[in-house]
Structure 1
Amino acid sequence: MSHQHQAIPTDGSLHADCANCFGLCCVALPFAASADFAVDKGAGQPCTNLLADSRCGIHSQLRERGFPGCTVFDCFGAGQKISQLTFGGQDWGQAPRTARQMFAVFPVMRQLHELLWYVTEALTLQAAKPVHEALRTALEDTERLTRGSADEITEIDVAALRRDINTLLLRTSELVRSKVAGRKKNHRGADLIGAKLRGADLRGANLRGAYLIAADLRGADLRSADVIGADFRDTDLRGADLTGAIFLTQAQLNAAKGDSTTTLPPALSHPMHW
C-alpha cells in the first residue's frame, strides 16, 4: 500500500474515560428491553446498575447479565468532555438542576466527537494530503464547537455539520482507495446481512453504510476499505485483515465477533469479549 495509515494521534480526548465522566451514557440515553438490554430505561433515568460513584455495578458481567448493548457503545470521549469541561466537574447527581441540560448536551457532543475521530484519522492519511488543509480547518472548527457553553452546544445544527464534513471524508476515501490496484467493489449501503464473504478480497472496497449483520467475513481482506457507518453487529471477523481500513471505530469492532487472528489498525484494540 502506498498510503500511510498511522495510529490516530490523540491525547486520549477521543477515547472514553469513564473515570472522569458522571455515568452520562448510563442515564442520558434511553434503551428498550431487547437482545441488547435486559430492561427498559427512559432517557434521563439512571440505569438500575449505576452506582453512586457513577460506575457500573455489573461492568465485568454486562454480557452475561443481558446488557451486551452497553459493551458496544462508545462516546468517543464526549462523556468526560461534558463532565469536566462543559460543566466544570459538577456532578448532575450532586447538582440535580444541571441534569436535564447535561443529558441534552450528551448526544450532541457524542456526534461532534465522532466527527473529530473521523477527521483526525483522515489527517493521518498521506493519500488524503490534497484535502488536509480543509480537514484541519474542519477539525479546528468542530473542536471549537465542543468548547462552547451547554446552551451553545444544544443549538448546533449537527446535520449540517455532518454534511459538510462528510464531503471531505468522501474525498478522503476516494483518494485512499484509488491507491489500491485493481477494480474495487462498491457495496455502499448494500444489504449484506448474513452474506457469505469468507476469504473475500475487499481491498479498497466501498462499504460505507453497508449492512453486514451476521455476515461471514472470516479471513476476508478489508485493507484500505471504507467502512464508515457499516453495521458490524455479529459480523464474523475471525482472521480478517482490517489493516488500514478507514473510518473503522471501536464501537463497530465491539459489535462484531473476532479473535486474536483479526488484524486491526493500530488505533483500535481487540474487544475483551473476543
Structure 2
Amino acid sequence: MREDDIDDITASDPRLELRADCGQCFGLCCVALPFARSADFAIDKDAGRPCPNLKSDFRCGIHTRLRETGFTGCTVYDCFGAGQQVSQVTFGGVDWRSGSRDRARQMFDVFPVVRALHELLWYLNEALTLPAARPVHADVRRLLAATERLTGQTPEELGELDVGAHRQEVNEVLLRTSELVRAGFGGGRKKDRRGADLMGARLKGADLRGASLRGAYLIAADLTGADLRGADMIGADLRDADLTDADLTGAFFLTQPQLNAARGSVGTQIPESVERPGHWTARG
C-alpha cells in the first residue's frame, strides 16, 4: 500500500473482512471454546463439546435471547472472522461433524490460533489508518503481510505456530504506534496506565486524552462523561464499565467485543471502526 492510499482506507477498510460471518462458520466458538457457569454463562461447557443451544445447521437456537437466558458472554465475543477462515479456507468447507474425530479436534485447536492472528490483523490494519504513525508504517506493512501469510498455512502448520512469539514482534510496533499517536493528544508518562487496576474506579468526567490504557482493568469503572480521545484501548477490560456520554473519538485499538462488554448511551461518542451495541440505552 502506498502512503497516498492511506486516506482511502476508510472507504475500503480491510477490517470489514475481519468481522464474523456466522453463516460461513460451523459454529466453532460454540464448540471449540470452554466456559464456566457464571454471570456470563448459564452452564458449564468443556472445550470441544457443542453448546446445547447449537442447532444442526450450526446456528444458535437462542441467539435473540442470549442476555435474557444467561449467556451474556456470547454477546461480547468476537472471532474477528476466524470462524469463516478456519471453516471455509483452512479446512476447505468440511465441517467438524463430517470429518473424523481427530480432524474435528484439529479444527478446534486451530480456531483460537487463527483468532489470535486475525486480532493482530485488526490492529495492524488500524495502525495504517493513523496518520501520526506514518514513521512506522513500513514495519506495520511488513508484519501485516507476514501475519496474513500465517493465516493461510495448513492446519498442521498452524497447530505448531508460536503465536506468542509473533504477537510479541507485532506488539513492539504497536507500542511505537501508540506513542506516536498519543503524543498528538497530550499523552505522556503521567497518562501511562498500562495494566492499571481501575476496577470500579470513579473516573466520571476524567481527562484521559492520550492515555495508555493497554491491558487496564476498568471493570465496572464509572467513565461517565470521560474524555478518552486519542486513548490507546488495546486489551483494556471494559466489562460493565459505564461509558455513558463518554467521548472515545480518536480512541484507537478499540474492538467491538470491548464495547459490547461495556454500558453506554446514545450520547457516547465512538470511533467509526466499531458499532454502537444494541443493548446500549438512551441513558446508559
User: TM-score, structure 1 length as denominator?
Assistant: 0.96
Partner amino acid, structure 2, of 1:80: Q
Residue number in structure 1 paired with 2:113: 108
Counterparts of 2:187 and 2:109, CA distance in 1: 47
* Percent identical residues: 65
Deviation string, structure 1 residues 123-151 (Cα, Å, up to 9, x no partner): 11110001000100100000000001000
Describe how 1:1-274 pairs up with structure 2 within 5 A. 6=10, 9-10=13-14, 12-97=16-101, 98-181=103-186, 185-274=191-280
Deviation string, structure 1 residues 146-196 (Cα, Å, up to 9, x no partner): 001000111111110111000000000000011124765221111111011
Post-superposition, which runs of at least 4 consecutive aligned residues in structure 1 deviate over 4 A? 3-8
Partner amino acid, structure 1, of 2:215: G
Deviation string, structure 1 residues 187-214 (Cα, Å, up to 9, x no partner): 1111111011111111101111111000
RMSD (Å) for aligned C-alpha atoms: 1.7
Counterparts of 1:130 and 1:213, CA distance in 2: 34
Q: Count residues with an aligned counterpart.
A: 272
C-alpha contact (below 8 Å) 1:8/1:120 kept by paired residues? no
Counterparts of 2:172 and 2:115, CA distance in 1: 20
C-alpha contact (below 8 Å) 2:187/2:211 kept by paired residues? no
Say which SS state the counterpart of residue 33 (structure 1) adopts: coil
Q: 1:20 to 1:258 in 2, by over 3 A?
A: same
Structure 2: gaps of 5 or more residues: 1-6
C-alpha contact (below 8 Å) 1:7/1:267 kept by paired residues? no
Say which SS state the counterpart of residue 84 (structure 1) adopts: helix
Deviation string, structure 1 residues 25-76 (Cα, Å, up to 9, x no partner): 0000000111110000000000000000000000000000000000011100
User: TM-score, structure 2 length as denominator?
Assistant: 0.92
Task: State which drifts further: 170-179 or 86-95.
Answer: 86-95
Say which SS state the counterpart of residue 238 (structure 2) adopts: coil
